[in-house]
A and B are shown apart, each in its own frame.
Chain A
Amino acid sequence: MPPPDNSPAAHAGDALVSLSGLRKEFPARRMSAFGARRKVVAVDDVGFEIRPGSTFGLVGESGSGKSTIARMILKLERPDAGEVSFDGRSLWQQTPAQERDYRRNVQAVLQDPYGALSPRLKVCDIIGEPLSAQGRGRSEIDATVSRLLDTVGLGKDAGNRYPHQFSGGQRQRIAIARALSVEPRLLVLDEPVSALDVSIRAQILMLLREMQERLGLTYLFVGHDLAIVRYVSVVVGVMYFGRMVEIGPADDVLRHPRHPYTERLVSIASMRQALGTERLTGELPNPLAPPSGCHFRTRCPYATQRCIDEAPPLREWGSGHRVACHYPLTRSS
């Protein structure tokens, strides 16, 4: 087990969720029967924590490991090393009763609102299903369902219809209502608005924000759109090829990035630079044979020999802002 050298131990006491030294490997197909066993390190020594009532935004491109982290928090995937704890208790040392409690406390809303809802169930049954799984009575379920439909801005009669009768944005509202039905404390939102139309995205983002204020929910928001992540998040973490490269207060990280990778993402998203002023050099690294040292060095304009030789650890650069780079950018640049 690698030492959890970047565990944010300072405030471990008040975190709702805390991750430390998390690692997850997936086996890759061998090229031949005699070939070496190969593996992809999807998540490599990642640690952060989420405060109750706040939102942690996890940013990264495809293959960066952000969804794997979400799946480990949902207890759908077991880490190869490291720890996830909820309310100070490890996820993998729960009694069956504690586990049931945990599964109620943590709910997910995923990207695809079309695949997430059973086409054969009426909306009221979809939203009520988690409740009946918990053995609640019919009248209690009915009351909760109609209250939830109201909360997420769908009319009462929506309950008697089927998912295909709704648009993408409305389906995502149904998925959110279902997640809220068991009164969870943590919502894992994995790209919840990416599949929605631009004008509908804003509705769902505002709904999520409003519900956080009203119900005191805690969110893990996984996304790739920096502007949306900044809109919902208090703290953000930026991932690149399985590693956390930068983490800190959202305004700070996304307005004054210190890691060259974050800076690149931000300059594209904010259109600060004209198109094509800075061409990317080099291809994306092969996940089966990641580059030595810093994973970003193959595309980084500032890389030196030191970046090839040693992987930069996450280091503190003022008020909770941590960067994994040997040569972090200063504020003026």
Chain B
Amino acid sequence: MLLEVRNLSVAFGPVSRPVRAVAGVDLDIGAGEIVGIAGESGSGKTTLCAALVRALPRAARVSGDIRFAGRSIHALSREELRQVRGREIAMILQNPMTSLDPLFTIGNQLGEVLATRCDVPAPQLRGRELELLRSVHITAPEERLRQYPHELSGGMRQRVLIAMAGSMAPKLLLADEPTTALDATIQEEILVLFRELRDLRGTAIAIVTHDLGVIRRICDRIVVMYAGRIVEEGPVAAVFAAPRHPYTRALLASVPVLDGDRVQVQAIAGQVPNLADLGDFCAFADRCPMAIDQCRAQAPPQTALGQQRRVFCWRADEMS
């Protein structure tokens, strides 16, 4: 396994009344795999992502173990961490404007990455910069190198970031809502680029998003999170065809689909729970149509459902 997360918990706030943003998460990501981490706001998906690269604010209390390529992330020295972050794990965030420096041209910024991260000698820089921009299908790359980030469209900026991330052939790319700010037709292009990155460089990609369509379109595996916990995990085709957790099922039913004679949606009653008030039982119990007394008393154990598929629900066996 490229990435192994074991019993990871992240808590904020006072010790007496902690907000457990991530609670007891186990997660594996293999080399060259594209994994989708799905969840609504407050589900802990972004906190999980930040924990993977030790980018959490200092106030966060982290427990559990994260191993990347056999090494524990928490045991790395600051210098080793810097090396891992730059060369082995790349990150792409939702807003491509804040990830590029507005005062430097695209050429400057690509050049910096290539020189410091990939040790490209100065005379070859320009050639490699152009090559990178072409690899993400940017038109007129010579002109783009001279432009500043604000002169590019959102889709183009996101492509530049993917080019940067891809330049160092990272083992893992963490993408936090990478297409949320983009239009549908551009979004499609960006997803194709992700797939190319995986196919050509063998990069494993974790896409964190609330957009189930994105996950269905590109990911091999889906991890569904609710209130800081994983509730269901499995191959995309299997989970979308037959969700086994009531939350996954409700989430899929609440998204209108375009095809079919009649469009129907089903709302999930209630609100996402306040993480500070969560007891040690199923977090979805209050909104779950299938909840029984046991759901409100004890946290559901993991039920393995064959290869790569697991679900955390007391009534998992009845949900087939």
Contact = CB atoms under 8 A, between A and B. Distances in A.
B258 A280 contact: no
B185 A264 contact: yes
B184 interface: yes
A61 B155 CA distance: 13
Given A199-B250, A231-B265, A270-B257, A167 B272 contact: yes
B28 interface: no
Nearest to B217: A275
Contacts of B137: 279
Contacts of B188: 268, 275-276, 280
B188 to A, nearest CB: 5
**Which of the four size classes fits the interface of chain A?**
35 or more
Interface in A152-208: 167-170, 197-203, 205-206
B267 interface: yes
Contacts of B139: 282-283
Contacts, number: 105
Contacts of A167: 271-272
A167 B212 CA distance: 22
Contacts of B185: 61, 264-265, 268, 280, 299
Interface string B263-295: 101111101100000000000000000000000
A226 interface: yes
A299 B155 CA distance: 15
Contacts of A224: 183-184
A202 B267 contact: yes
Interface residues of B, number: 39
A198 B266 contact: no
Interface string A257-270: 00000001110111
Contacts of A231: 256, 263, 265
Interface in B1-49: 40-41
Interface string A196-222: 011111110110000000000000000
Contacts of A280: 185, 188-189
Contacts of A264: 185
A97 interface: no
Given A198-B255, A283-B139, A271 B267 contact: no
A73 interface: no
A275 B153 contact: no
A299 B257 CA distance: 26
Given A199-B251, A265-B184, A271-B216, 6 more contacts: A167-B272, A199-B268, A202-B265, A254-B258, A275-B188, A275-B195
9 contacts: A197-B41, A199-B268, A202-B255, A227-B258, A228-B256, A265-B185, A266-B258, A268-B188, A275-B217
Interface of A: 61-62, 167-170, 197-203, 205-206, 224, 226-228, 230-231, 254-255, 264-266, 268-272, 275-276, 279-280, 282-284, 299
